[in-house]
Chains A and B, each alone.
Chain A
């Protein structure tokens, strides 16, 4: 099992949790838990005091353990539909 010191050392060297975990042969979420004591899916919400004693936390630790996120924000066929409607209804095109 990787130790906290090992993970912290790799982070200090500029590794991300993903690459540090790869180096140590463990899952990224496990590397995060070893280093911080917190689960990467954020089951706990540490207090500001606890956070200040931890290594810098990634913005979204859940991405270390979760499958790919599905959250598209653009739909080209909708934009095309908008252009057609605008042309027909606001410009008077057929």
Chain B
């Protein structure tokens, strides 16, 4: 016990006896306070790291004392975050070192009623045994007579919160094992961005970086609440405003982003294509486009084939097949030329070649020609004229009728776009998942891309399309994809029906001209990285080891396969579909049919505990004792306990070092997949089964470190970056070869470990470099920070204006130079013109900036790649209370993907009987203090306390109409489920006047579930599985519900209420299913 303080230590006496008699300084400190020192000062080292939450990727300093992390702060040297952290980033010390994380493996035996402890080694062995058994039992040699060599009985979900190295090993091992149902949050969040940007410009990633927004003259945030969802990146918009920029926020929901904007434009959720189409119409009809840019760099002059027909009143482009619920895109192609898309539906060429007489995809080789151009833009079938006709009906009046945006407001937006684009000024778009999560999400991104091309804003300072991604490595998990349809670097997975051998595959999937023309180099180097010495020219470099696709195997199709019983085993890597995926009930139903489930996370998320405490247990529809699913919970290591890279929203790979060891059974996902793979290989050793060769021949011998034998993340990243036969780590993808003399795990990341230096760990302070921050970490491709930056110069290589100079041709040095790494061959002069028979990069002229495109032009009109049409077209969301005014005969996207299941029913058309049973529009969003499905925030006390309860925002008008009280409860009902939420009555939600009636909208965050400190119902109990056909993303940004005052019923009465409303609406299996 401490002695009593002496009276002379009393603060007042101490103050009066000292020099600081007025008590303004040191006198007010007690001895205890005097002795306090900041944890940052006590640390014995500062370890460089990266925030694990959103994709801004704020750099962090880990303050480490005695091998324990004692404090985490922002790294002030970082060019992109400058030392700032948001509330989530500031809570990472508690997230990682607090006591909410599980430390031990937990096991739920079949039909068990509670968790049991299991030692880690035993659990790993059990999972390995189950994997081997499920794989053997579920092996499929062929489908419809075509070899598939795959395993349909195992699936995996998760990767966006993981390191790139972890995703790489997961994809590598599972693919070798024949598993194709590999998915992650990137499907659920931004897959439509990849399609939209990739088909338009050549790469499916953000074209710019938040830091470049400071150079914008106009910033339009649409489908993004950046100030709350990505607050640290928002500093660059504040910076732009300080420099005189105008900021517009277009959104159904008023937020802090709106409060900071110069202009807030509320619109009806799900109508952005009509809005953007209106702006496109304005630009074209007033000839306000940047004509020189449009002529030189876009496909506006390209002539489209005679067969193409635009949408009529029926809302269909040419080529629609109602039986297949999809388009044959043949008629969208250019006249006398065949081009492949750089993203999206990559091998449409093969289909077309077959249709045009070629027997297989090789026919595409012969069918390719040179697109015809009309530089006068007068040809009736040139893209310019087609675009003009298509958008002519998107008038200000139509925008008002569809979106609820008054004409004068819309006119002001159009004026600002035009005034802030051109030679001297640039406009940037910022979007988030408000644009992506729709049944026509890819076309939202296409619409913005078209506008940016028309206004000449791509590749220029302050321009571009800034896709704000939401997870630390969601960009990385797209690039090194834990996704079913791609291999690392956006190389498409082979298809059973079209890609029998490597030649056929390359012919069908690559472009003849541009950098995709070198796809064989990328592919062979990948096969060498995976199968090493076993991959030889004689055996097609083991191309046959890759399992084959037969359609979409996205996460929602996988759920249907679970429900059918095809999938036996399921891995969840840091993902919580029981909250985060659409239609939570279907997710749980699917998991209840599994034989085994492996959950790797920090805490006991809802996807780990549904068998015990899910809503169906509470309602009595399921009994724990009847559920056979065996569940393994493995506690995961946090970012401070492992090394690796995250790829942030600006394509920047940042290395994070380890600050401390994980405790007890906590392990990294790198450790898990590596050691699971080793165990499975041991079990298969000596097998003579053909299916086991890809697993046994796989290169799987990474050096390990430490007492847990942690595989070296550096070694994995080196494999990703690539090397040659001399063991030299490559400087970039132009060094890759197709003869088997190079190895590279992801061609777009080639160079990230150049010369044996981990380039991703570079940390040159922002004060020592320009705003692009090119010496901080490493960005793909080739450390270019602003994509397509060749377009910042005119065709002759001179900047369009000095004010907007970025890269330019230096005639004296005969090279491209400037403020950024040129996104162009450095020594190719502007006047270079390729010979007619040139292929690959040699076919890229010196005046064409879109080097990944088959025709090197930005696509205003997409002749391939997008499944639901060459131009964005307004359709209503799957569940909407408003009829389609633009195409009255076509309510919804005819090509969308829908699932007919009792637990996934859709709402009627608005003008059908029962069409107004669910009359209120709902939109959803993220809060600053929470993270996606809550696994990293609801268990973190600081964050849980900041946002403790699930709520819905309703307008005062709707509150009056429905009798809702502020801070009271509301019950929301859809055909899938019902939830309760606290009511926030606020004028942040604007009732809109649509076609003479008031349409109410409700805003809802989606982070809650029944577990953790902050508990609540999950919004996704309401949403349906209905998907965009190009990207397979779900629609959760616009749906419809009914809202009632009071709490929802408990027990069986909850489902009864849902059933009652379904009956009232007359919902059947066919409702909402029509194309």
A interface residues with partner B (beta carbon < 8 Å) = 41-43, 45, 47, 57-62, 65-75, 77-79, 81-92
Contacts and interface: CB of A to CB of B under 8 A. Distances in A.
Given A71-B48, A75-B714, 14 more contacts: A41-B40, A42-B82, A60-B767, A62-B61, A67-B44, A71-B761, A78-B715, A79-B718, A81-B703, A82-B718, A82-B727, A84-B727, A85-B723, A86-B724
Interface centre among B44, B48, B699, B714 (most CB of A within 10 A): B714
Contacts, number: 127
A78 B103 CA distance: 31
A54 to B, nearest CB: 12
List 8 A-B pairs, minimum CB-CB distance, nearest first: A42-B76, A83-B727, A89-B532, A86-B727, A90-B725, A59-B765, A60-B765, A71-B48
Interface stretch (B196-204, B290-298, B470-478, B737-745): B737-745
Given A67-B44, A86-B743, A90-B742, A74 B725 contact: no
B1005 interface: no
Contacts of A68: 44-46
A84 B729 CA distance: 13
B712 A75 contact: yes
Contacts of A62: 61, 75-77
A70 B533 contact: no
Contacts of B759: 73
Interface of B: 40-41, 43-48, 61, 63-64, 73, 75-77, 82-84, 242, 528, 532-533, 657, 699, 702-703, 712, 714-715, 718, 723-727, 729, 740-743, 756-759, 761-763, 765, 767-768
Contacts of B741: 90
Contact of B61 (A57, A59, A66, A82): A66
A89 B723 CA distance: 11
Contact of A90 (B43, B48, B740, B761): B740
B793 to A, nearest CB: 28
B76 A61 contact: yes
Contacts of A59: 77, 765, 767-768
Nearest to B73: A41
B532 A88 contact: yes
A72 B761 contact: yes
A19 to B, nearest CB: 20
Contacts of A75: 712, 714, 758
B84 to A, nearest CB: 8
A47 B238 CA distance: 12
A59 to B, nearest CB: 4
Give chain B's interface secondary structure class.
Answer: mixed
B712 A66 contact: no
A82 B765 contact: no
A84 to B, nearest CB: 8
A92 to B, nearest CB: 6
A42 B605 CA distance: 37
A25 to B, nearest CB: 18
B740 A78 contact: no
A73 B758 contact: yes
B699 A70 contact: no
A88 B77 CA distance: 41
Contacts of A47: 242
A85 B744 CA distance: 12
Nearest to B532: A89
Contacts of B768: 59
A69 B46 contact: yes
Contact of A92 (B46, B73, B77, B533): B533
A74 B756 contact: yes
A60 B75 CA distance: 10
Contacts of A77: 703, 712
23 contacts: A42-B83, A59-B77, A59-B768, A61-B76, A65-B41, A66-B46, A66-B61, A69-B47, A70-B47, A71-B47, A73-B758, A73-B759, A74-B758, A75-B714, A79-B727, A81-B712, A81-B718, A86-B726, A89-B533, A89-B743, A90-B740, A90-B741, A92-B533
Contacts of A70: 45-48, 64, 657
Given A66-B61, A75-B714, A86 B46 contact: no
B699 A89 contact: yes
B767 A90 contact: no
A74 B753 CA distance: 9
Nearest to B769: A59
A60 B82 contact: no
B757 A73 contact: yes
B48 A69 contact: yes
B725 A78 contact: no
Contacts of A43: 83
A67 to B, nearest CB: 5
Nearest to B756: A79
Given A78-B714, A82-B727, A89-B528, A73 B46 contact: no
Contacts of B742: 90
B1066 to A, nearest CB: 59
A81 B699 contact: no
B1037 to A, nearest CB: 34
A57 B699 contact: no
Contacts of B725: 86-87, 90-91
A57 B63 CA distance: 24
Contacts of A73: 757-759, 761-762
A41 B714 contact: no
A45 B83 contact: yes
Given A59-B765, A60-B767, A45 B703 contact: no
B165 to A, nearest CB: 12
A67 B45 CA distance: 5
Nearest to B728: A86
A48 to B, nearest CB: 9
Contacts of A84: 727
Contacts of A42: 76-77, 82-83
B757 A74 contact: yes
Nearest to A62: B76
A68 B63 CA distance: 10
Most buried by B among A43, A71, A91: A71
A84 B699 CA distance: 13
B766 to A, nearest CB: 8
B744 to A, nearest CB: 11
Contacts of B740: 90
Contacts of A65: 40-41
A77 B714 CA distance: 10
A68 to B, nearest CB: 5
B76 A85 contact: no
A56 to B, nearest CB: 10
Nearest to A77: B703
B965 to A, nearest CB: 43
B657 A90 contact: no
B44 A87 contact: no
A92 B537 CA distance: 13
Contacts of B76: 41-42, 45, 60-62
A66 B82 contact: no
A77 B76 CA distance: 32
A62 B699 CA distance: 43
Contact of A71 (B73, B715, B763): B763
B110 to A, nearest CB: 42
B726 to A, nearest CB: 7
B533 A67 contact: no
Contacts of B83: 42-43, 45
Nearest to B47: A70
Contacts of B724: 86, 90
B77 A82 contact: no
A67 B758 contact: no
Contacts of B729: 79, 82
A83 B61 CA distance: 33
User: Which one of B76, B703, B743, B761 has the greatest number of beta carbons of chain A within 10 Å?
Assistant: B76
Contacts of A72: 657, 758, 761
A45 B82 contact: yes
B874 to A, nearest CB: 43
**Which has the most chain B C-beta neighbours within 10 Å: A58, A66, A85?**
A85
